[in-house]
């Protein structure tokens, strides 16, 4: 499932993020690339232990916990600490698939990358190129969102970032291990949850709400890994 979530951060909050990101010390993004991805990756990243990465990443995690649409779609069990990247001067990241498993820094835990997420911190008119291109069963999906917006898509997807030929593209990216491993099952649960929310808003006393809610939780119980 590919889902765009608008306005995770306001324009004022984006300006705060940008001021910090623009003054940070960046490193070659190939440092964190796998043996296949290193040949197609050409960007800059903040080191995972960089104070800016930690501070801004914590703000993202805190906001996700207060974003019902993200929770309903991702059904998060664990979230990898957000990373930050910067593309400019032709920077690109060719077709690749994210690692299936990542150790979570500073913990004994590992995370399965069920859901990939990008949060944009540059507006589309600030740079040329830089589309996030995701290949799924419906063909190529091109994503270039407003600053502060977020997109979720399956971690199993082949994807790339087109070359940024003018300006600078700032973004954060991270992964979520979901309570529900299957993307198809997560989609069905999300659609059912959305229908329940709509029915509740339009007909708050409708007798079917309890029945649909029961089905939702029994499916979640059946499909959950935990």
Q: Please, are residues 148 and 8 in contact by the beta-carbon 8 Å criterion?
A: yes
Statement: 183-223 belongs to CATH 2.40.128: no
Is the full-model pTM beyond 0.85?
A: yes
| Domain limits, the chain | 3-178, 183-223
How far, CA to CA in Å, does 14 sit from each of 11, 55, 58?
5, 14, 15
Q: Which fold has domain 3-178?
A: Jelly Rolls (2.60.120)
At residue 214's C-alpha, the angle toward residues 209 and 218, to 5°, is 150
pLDDT on residue 32? 79
| Residue 138 scores a pLDDT above 80 | no
| Residue 211 scores a pLDDT above 80 | yes
Q: Please, are residues 84 and 53 in contact by the beta-carbon 8 Å criterion?
A: yes
What does DSSP say about strands 164-178 and 76-79: parallel, antiparallel, or unpaired? antiparallel
User: What are the tens digits of pLDDT across the range 43-64?
Assistant: 999 999 999 999 999 999 999 9
Q: Which residue has the higher pLDDT, 195 or 29?
A: 195
For range 14-33, the mean pLDDT = 93
For range 117-133, the mean pLDDT = 98
pLDDT on residue 36? 67
Cα gap 46→173, rounded to integer Å: 11
pLDDT category at 31 given cuts 50, 70, 90 is: confident
User: What are the tens digits of pLDDT across the range 62-118?
Assistant: 999 999 999 999 999 999 999 999 999 999 999 999 999 999 999 999 999 999 999
| Residue 141 scores a pLDDT above 70 | yes
The secondary structure of the chain as a DSSP string is: --EEE--SS-HHHHHHHHHHHHTS--EEGGGG--TTGGGTEE-EE--TT-HHHHHHHHHHHHHHTT-HHHHHHH-EEEEPPPEEEEEETT-EEEEE---SEEEPTTSS-EEE--EEEEEE-S-GGGEEE--EEEEETTEEEEE-PPTT-EEEEETTSEEEE--EEEEEEEEEEEEEEESB--HHHHHHHHHHHHHHHHHHHH-TT-THHHHHHHHHHHHHHHHB--
pLDDT on residue 52? 96
pLDDT on residue 178? 98
pLDDT on residue 45? 97
């Amino acid at each position: 499932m590919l889902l765009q979530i608008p306005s995770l951060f306001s324009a004022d909050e984006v300006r705060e993020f940008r001021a910090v990101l623009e003054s940070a010390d960046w490193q070659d993004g190939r440092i964190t690339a796998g043996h296949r991805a290193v040949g197609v990756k050409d960007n800059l990243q903040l080191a995972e232990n960089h104070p800016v990465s930690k501070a801004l990443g914590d703000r993202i995690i805190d906001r996700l916990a207060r974003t019902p649409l993200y929770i309903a779609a991702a059904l998060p069990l664990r979230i990898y600490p957000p990373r930050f990247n910067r593309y400019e001067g032709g920077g690109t990241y060719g077709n690749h698939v994210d690692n299936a498993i990542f150790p979570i820094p500073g913990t004994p835990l590992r995370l399965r990358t069920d859901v990939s997420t990008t949060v944009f911190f540059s507006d589309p008119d600030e740079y040329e190129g830089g589309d996030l291109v995701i290949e799924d069963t419906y063909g190529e999906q091109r994503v270039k969102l407003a600053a502060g917006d977020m997109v979720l898509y399956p971690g199993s997807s082949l994807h790339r970032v087109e070359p940024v030929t003018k300006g600078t593209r700032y973004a954060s990216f991270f992964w979520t291990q979901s309570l529900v491993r299957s993307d198809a099952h997560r989609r069905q649960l999300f659609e059912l949850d959305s229908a329940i929310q709509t029915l509740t808003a339009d007909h708050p006393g409708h007798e079917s709400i309890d029945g649909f809610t029961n089905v939702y939780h029994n499916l979640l119980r059946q499909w959950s890994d935990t």
